[in-house]
Amino acid sequence: MMRNAAFQRDPDTIVKLPKDDRILSLLLTVLDDFHRQAVSYCYWKSSKRIEQVLAGDGDLDLLIARHDQHRAQAILLGHGFKLFPSVAMRDHPAILSYLGYDEPSDRLIHLHLHFRLIVGERLHKNYRIPWENNVLARAILHPTLQVRMLDPTSEAVLLGVRACLELRRLDPVTFRGWRTTLARFALDRKRLAETLDQAQLTSRASELLGDDLGAMLAGAIYGEESFEENHRLQTAIRSHFAPYRAYNALEARLRSAVRAIHWAAGGLNKFYLHLPRPWSRRAPGGGCVVALIGIDGSGKSTVSAAIRTWLSSEIDVIPVYFGTGGGRPSLLLRPLKLMVPLLTPLLRTKPRGSSHGKVSKASPGLLYSLLLMVWAAAVAREKRTKLLAARRAASRGLVVVTDRYPQNEIRRFNDGPLLTRLAWAPSWLRRWEARVYALAQRLPPDLVIKLIVRPETTARREPEMDPTVIEKRIEAIPRLAFSGARIVSVNAEQPLADVIRAIKQEIWRMI
């Protein structure tokens, strides 16, 4: 337990710790509860970066006594943290990952609860360091922050052990940031060597590792040779902790290889493919489809990009664009989009229902009708494919953020059927298109965010858009129900940061 006199109190006494503006308010509340309920814990990574971590710039790794693990989790859940397990079994059974949303700072907080000291390669932590009780008993209160951390000698010993077990070029995640990782270990070692008494460190290392290995590790902290170059120490440390491996060397290497393949495929999917396959961390209780709805110029694309950036650092999220404008088209629609600039000069006017260009009140001509039928069929086919992919992604635990969403509630409204604009079209083609938009009604989004703007704002942002169409579409947006989906209207006239913040709060409640 902590030796600090501030916490040597009657367990029934409630102590309210002073607010520290350097700590995110959500984390400060959680740590305050840990102290009040006497949860045995400490931050067990580098003390040099503790201020950055508590400010939200990095994951917070807390070692929790096993007998306090359920109380610690109850505190986190009580403050809105949510459990986000990793896919592909990358999380160790003794490590749980929680995410929280700190509304004042607009940040996602990633908190790791460690019930055992588990270290090793980034993709496969295979070693346990059986010092949990010893480390927690010697933990100290940070001199200026309301958080418990490692005492300096324990931090130095753990730094050396971690360096020997984690610095492996065979791990692609570590190898990708090899120089940064080496520099981080080197800076931590230098800082500790400059502040610690060598005799005290040697005594502490010998207590934990035995006299010979302890003296060797203490010497490495003060020596000139870097950790990655000290092969003798690496071999000795790995041999010492070999009985505490979860898997033998062969199986560990095979598991690492499988996880490396999954990690590489996940990165490819995240940035390029956008297939409905989870790769990192799924939403608890299943994923969801979030649809951003609004007239052109309401900021859908900007907001969609901001939300994906915010979520994708921690959660599996894929974008789906249901429009036919600037988004990425399918292989079926791409050649038709390439033909649009060539055909547009031949079509001086567009029929009613079109949003941009010169709109005519006359019925569409034969050429326009034929072209629109081909276009409508391709668009409907693409939307059907994307609807199914979005729902499958949500079923697999991904968060899907869509720009627009198909609907058949209002005729001649954007994102609705196109063939209703024509006086004539084959009945079989109309029925086929109608089935696609009926599917959208059967598969509504889980959350609909309606971005509301004034007509003059849209006219300013989209000068080529027909004013009559602007009025009709703004009037129609509130009437869209999307089969009873949860709908939230957001005033998009307010500053962009406020718009995005309001949407983040709604999405966090949903997942």
DSSP state for residue 358 in the 8-state scheme: P
177-199 as b/e, with b when 16 or more CB fall inside 10 Å?
A: eeeebbeebeebbebbbeebeee
User: Which pairs count as long-range contacts for 467-474, CB under 8 Å and 24+ apart, including other chains?
Assistant: 468/359, 469/354, 469/355, 469/359, 470/295, 473/295, 473/355, 473/413, 473/414, 474/295
Neighbours of 280 (CB within 10 A): 22
DSSP state for residue 46 in the 8-state scheme: -
Query: Residue 159: which of 139, 129, 200, 197 has the closest Cα?
Result: 129
**Cα gap 250→260, rounded to integer Å:** 15
Structure token pair of residue 205: 């290392």
Q: In the numeric block, which tokens belong to residue 469?
A: 């169409």
Rounded Cα distance between 406 and 260, Å, is 38
Q: Burial code of 116-134, b = ≥16 C-beta within 10 A, e = fewer?
A: bbbbbbbbbbbbbbebbee
Rounded Cα distance between 508 and 127, Å, is: 34
What whole-number distance in Å separates Cα of residue 40 and Cα of residue 32? 13
Residue type, 486: R
Distance between CA atoms of residues 224 and 202, nearest Å? 17
Cβ atoms within 10 Å of 411's Cβ, excluding its own: 10
The amino acid at 73:
Q
Those residues of the chain that have pLDDT short of 70 are 1-21, 88-89, 327, 345-362
Q: Angle at CA 443, nearest 5°, toward 475 and 448?
A: 40
What whole-number distance in Å separates Cα of residue 215 and Cα of residue 232?
13
**Per-residue pLDDT at 336:** 83
Closest by CA to 119, choosing from 183, 87, 164, is 164
- pLDDT value, residue 348: 62
Phi first, then psi: what are they for 293, rounded to 5°?
A: -120, 140
- β-partners of residue 352 are 354
Residue type, 152: P
Contact of 65 with 41, CB cutoff 8 Å: yes
Q: How far is CA 237 from CA 79, 92, 135, 227, in A?
A: 40, 21, 18, 12
- For residues 63-81, b (16+ Cβ closer than 10 Å) or e, as one string? bbbeebbebbbebbeeebb
Letter string b/e over residues 262-278, b meaning 16 or more CB atoms within 10 A of that residue's CB: bbeebeebbeeebebbb
Where do the DSSP E strands lie in 203-301?
Answer: 288-293
**Residue 62: strand, helix, or coil:** strand
In degrees and rounded to multiples of 5, residue 161 shows phi and psi of: -65, -45
Count other C-beta atoms under 10 Å from residue 108's C-beta. Answer: 17
Neighbours of 322 (CB within 10 A): 20
How far is Cα 400 from Cα 224, in angstroms, rounded to an integer?
Answer: 51
Residue 409 DSSP label: S
Q: What is the pLDDT of residue 285?
A: 86
- Are the C-beta atoms of residues 351 and 423 closer than 8 Å to each other? no
Cα–Cα distances (Å) from 265 to 260, 262, 274, 392, 399, in that order, read 9, 5, 11, 19, 18
Q: Look-up: residue for tokens 């052990």?
A: 161
Pairing mode of beta strands 288-293, 447-452: parallel
Structure tokens at 188: 């931590």
Do strands 399-403 and 95-102 pair parallel, antiparallel, or not at all (unpaired)?
unpaired
What integer pLDDT is reported at residue 17 of this predicted model?
A: 43
Distance from first CA to last CA of the chain, Å, rounded? 36
Q: Can you tell me which residue has the tokens 């055992």?
A: 116
Q: Fill in the DSSP letter of residue 356.
A: B
